[in-house]
Structure 1
Amino acid sequence: MAVVGPLSRIARIGSTFCRNNSVVSSRSSQRRGIVSCIDPSHGLTDEQKEFQKVAFDFAANEMAPHMADWDQKEIFPVETMRKAAQLGFGGIYVQPDVGGSGLSRLDTSIIFEALSTGCVSTTAYISIHNMCAWMIDTFGNNEQREKFCPDLCSMEKFASYCLTEPGSGSDAASLLTSAQKKGDHYILNGSKAFISGGGDTDVYVVMCRTGVKGPKGISCLVVEKGTPGLSFGKKEKKVGWNSQPTRAVIFEDCEVPVTNRLGEEGQGFNIAMKGLNGGRINIASCSLGAAHASLLLARDHLLVRKQFGEALANNQYLQFKLAEMATKLVASRLLVREAAKALQTNHPDAVSLCSMAKLFVTDECFNICNQALQMHGGYGYLKDYAVQQFVRDIRVHQILEGTNEVMRMIISRNLLMES
């Protein structure tokens, strides 16, 4: 496989994409953050600004025009995601020798924030897919990396993360899905709940119990679609995130080769948690994109909507609300980027900072989107207006990748240990 430098790959393909889409809508210009005080390119290097622009343009041209349709018809936009993968977005922080872009956690956050302005639901799935590819790249052996990663990075195949079970959500270490080793296979039994992409994806990164109770008895297996004994529940009907299917994943005497185990037996919980640290940054970044887009939609609505004989933008209460939204957006972005840098450098406080970012940003960005809807009045509640979809799509970010209540537990535990 020819290895192309990650930045040159994204920039080169992206510039070609932009030339072929030279007519950029006003919505695209807004989403690139032309309002200077909330400009998401502040503090970035020229290289980061380049692939951020590629992501914003892709969001505006390939995602935003279809966002409502994907939501209403519950379409999993496979071909659009494969176009994103051609820009290097299928394995953003996977190593280049197996097809990844080899970018940093900060770079990844910048990209997911930009893509989410076009469709949060689709970008959130791409972030989960990237997390799975990274887990295989990081914890797999060379044979596993070469087998799975190239097809995941190109999004020729799609991945799902399988940790949550019907009876174990926040208490992940109590999971019951079991894998008994028999010869050169594991016999996998149990079920996983709320799995993004379930049934439509090709690779399942599964946490299962191979030993004693608790986290030390958990291992990680990669299960391929089509494996006998692997089946799926009904497609769930959700408030948001409708461009990605969600199903239960069921294992009934499912035979998985021992060669599909990532790491050693008993390392699965550690692998799962390391994946989630990055996942929390990713999902917070998706919330940033939604909040940025919603703030601009609210700003534009206040400028054109008139009540009591003048534009809403002249109302001081709404001016102050808009100022608060902008301040919280920028504060959220700074926290995410600080946490991303800490995770990249294995800083001792990385876990706590990732938890802080996930807690603060998903809460505050939901509030920004919700306030933007309120500013639209009755129009904000209509599906003709994008702001309501941003509200619906990011509400779940306060629940998944560890609930925000669990984030508080992680942060407080760290504080009290140091007292």
Structure 2
Amino acid sequence: MPADRLLPDTDAEDLLKLVREIAREELAPDAAKHEEAGQFPREQFRLLGRSGLLGLPYAERWGGADLSYEVYLQVVEEIAAAWMSVGVGLSVHTMSCWALAQHGTDEQRDRFLPDMLGGDLLGAYALSETHAGSDAAALSTRARRDGAEYTVSGTKAWITHGGEADFYTTMVRTSDDGPRGISCLLVDAATPGLTAAPPERKMGLTGSTTAQVVFDGARVPADRLIGAEGDGLRFALDALNSGRLGIAACAVGLAQAALDEAVAYAKQRSQFDRAIVDFQGVEFLLADMAAAVESARATYLEAARRRDRGLPFVRQASIAKLVATDAAMKVTTDAVQVLGGAGYTRDFPVERFMREAKVTQIFEGTNQIQRVVIARQLKRS
């Protein structure tokens, strides 16, 4: 990864050095074998928690670091470059903590956030359903109040960390009042009546478990309601705006890893008595890849800076997610091309990078949905 990042202060530089060391020594060596085996990296998340990396943008009072999103996202990028499943997991966990951190009561935050930010509790974000993906307001998982509890029934789909998480930030329907009838519950994974289906069989990110989560009369204490009834969809969409920046950073990290691999290979691979890096056809491919990576990085950092300054950033977050994930798909595809036949084999990581890049154009809102968001924001300006 490039070492010439523009960081706000020396403490941020020291943090990035620590993250690069963890990524290089603790994550990258295990990535390929875990992905090959479809093995969930739970111990790696515990390591991130012990290292103080699971709560970076949250308040120090509850175990966070009170860091800017500009710095936090660069941490995400570094981790994703070493191991995409862990980078995506960090982004998802951070998003799963958002509703509680922003809208929970102090009593709720004192009770749950320290373990969530310290790595003892790993989170999942349960919004999507089989019929309610891009149309999140169409969700039908129902929570009925019954005294001091809610009884929850329904099925959530495409849940990252499904079956592995310790808690689920879950959007449920508490009334039939359309989007205003959706509420947010913080659900313990050990709740009776909550089960996870077998993991989805995916083309990439095989170390990151994705599964349906089934609620069959699960009884959730009413004191796990975040905010008021009816606030859930607003919380969900606000969290997604920040979560899209996390995915943009992951995509840039993945693209940077692919570029690094392609450059290294092109320097050592010789044809016609010359390193292939000296052939113009390869030079131009690499130059375009580098331009795509750095442009995408600049885009997500500018969106993060707007967020940190308290400026509107919804449009910029969607642009960053769109630009960065499209760049990751192209850069990883071109990396396979640079490596030629070798790139198409599992002996080199670029084929895995290419498979992993595809989903970044789909989750946290497809890139078609990002275009809808961007256009709507333009109309309102």
Same fold, judged at TM 0.5 (above): yes
SS in 2 for 1:189: strand
The separation in 1 between residues aligned to 2:378 and 2:213, in whole angstroms, is: 37
**Contact 1:56–1:117 under 8 Å retained in 2:** no
Residue 282 (structure 1) aligns with = 246
TM-score by length of 2: 0.97
**Contact 2:7–2:71 under 8 Å retained in 1:** no
**Contact 1:343–1:354 under 8 Å retained in 2:** no
Alignment of structure 1 residues 64-213 onto 2, 5 Å: 64-213=28-177
* 2:20 is equivalent to residue 56 of structure 1: yes
Letter in structure 1 aligned against 2:350: V
Letter in structure 1 aligned against 2:195: S
Residue 416 of structure 1 deviates from its aligned partner by: 2.0
Residue 320 (structure 1) aligns with = 284
The separation in 2 between residues aligned to 1:238 and 1:213, in whole angstroms, is: 35
The separation in 2 between residues aligned to 1:390 and 1:55, in whole angstroms, is: 21
* 2:343 is equivalent to residue 380 of structure 1: yes
Residue 356 (structure 2) aligns with = 393
Deviates more, 1:246-255 or 1:45-54: 45-54
Residue 308 of structure 1 deviates from its aligned partner by: 2.7
**Contact 2:122–2:167 under 8 Å retained in 1:** yes
**Contact 2:145–2:151 under 8 Å retained in 1:** yes
Letter in structure 2 aligned against 1:407: Q
Residue 43 of structure 1 deviates from its aligned partner by: 5.5
SS in 2 for 1:117: helix
Residue 28 (structure 1) aligns with = none
Letter in structure 1 aligned against 2:327: E
1:99-147 deviation digits (Å, cap 9, x = unpaired): 1122111111110011112101111012111111232111111111112
Q: Pick the aligned partner of 2:269 from 300, 305, 309.
A: 305
The separation in 2 between residues aligned to 1:413 and 1:380, in whole angstroms, is: 40
Cα RMSD after superposing both structures: 1.3
The separation in 2 between residues aligned to 1:417 and 1:115, in whole angstroms, is: 36
Residue 44 of structure 1 deviates from its aligned partner by: 4.9
**Contact 2:261–2:335 under 8 Å retained in 1:** yes
Residue 417 of structure 1 deviates from its aligned partner by: 2.7
1:35-57 deviation digits (Å, cap 9, x = unpaired): xxxx4x14553332221121111
Residue 11 (structure 1) aligns with = none
Residue 394 of structure 1 deviates from its aligned partner by: 2.2
The separation in 2 between residues aligned to 1:214 and 1:400, in whole angstroms, is: 24
SS in 1 for 2:190: coil
SS in 2 for 1:193: strand
Residue 283 of structure 1 deviates from its aligned partner by: 0.7
Residue 379 (structure 2) aligns with = 416
The separation in 2 between residues aligned to 1:387 and 1:251, in whole angstroms, is: 38
Letter in structure 2 aligned against 1:282: G
* 2:238 is equivalent to residue 268 of structure 1: no
Letter in structure 2 aligned against 1:333: R
C-alpha change, 1:42 and 1:346, in structure 2 (3 Å) is: closer
**Contact 1:105–1:341 under 8 Å retained in 2:** yes
Letter in structure 2 aligned against 1:206: T
Letter in structure 1 aligned against 2:249: S
The separation in 2 between residues aligned to 1:42 and 1:347, in whole angstroms, is: 21
Residue 183 of structure 1 deviates from its aligned partner by: 1.2
Letter in structure 2 aligned against 1:361: A
1:64-99 deviation digits (Å, cap 9, x = unpaired): 101101101111122222111122111111211111
The separation in 1 between residues aligned to 2:25 and 2:39, in whole angstroms, is: 18
The separation in 1 between residues aligned to 2:203 and 2:260, in whole angstroms, is: 23
Residue 6 (structure 1) aligns with = none
The separation in 1 between residues aligned to 2:352 and 2:198, in whole angstroms, is: 23
1:220-256 deviation digits (Å, cap 9, x = unpaired): 0011012111111111111111112111000111111
Residue 247 (structure 1) aligns with = 211
**Contact 1:228–1:255 under 8 Å retained in 2:** yes
SS in 1 for 2:134: coil
- Count how many residue pairs are aligned between Structure 1 and Structure 2: 381
1:373-413 deviation digits (Å, cap 9, x = unpaired): 11000111111211122212221111011111110001011
Letter in structure 2 aligned against 1:171: D
Task: Tell me the percent identity.
Answer: 35
The separation in 1 between residues aligned to 2:81 and 2:366, in whole angstroms, is: 23
TM-score by length of 1: 0.88
1:338-365 deviation digits (Å, cap 9, x = unpaired): 10111223313x1000000001111012
Q: Pick the aligned partner of 1:366 from 323, 326, 329.
A: 329
5+ long unaligned stretches in structure 2: none
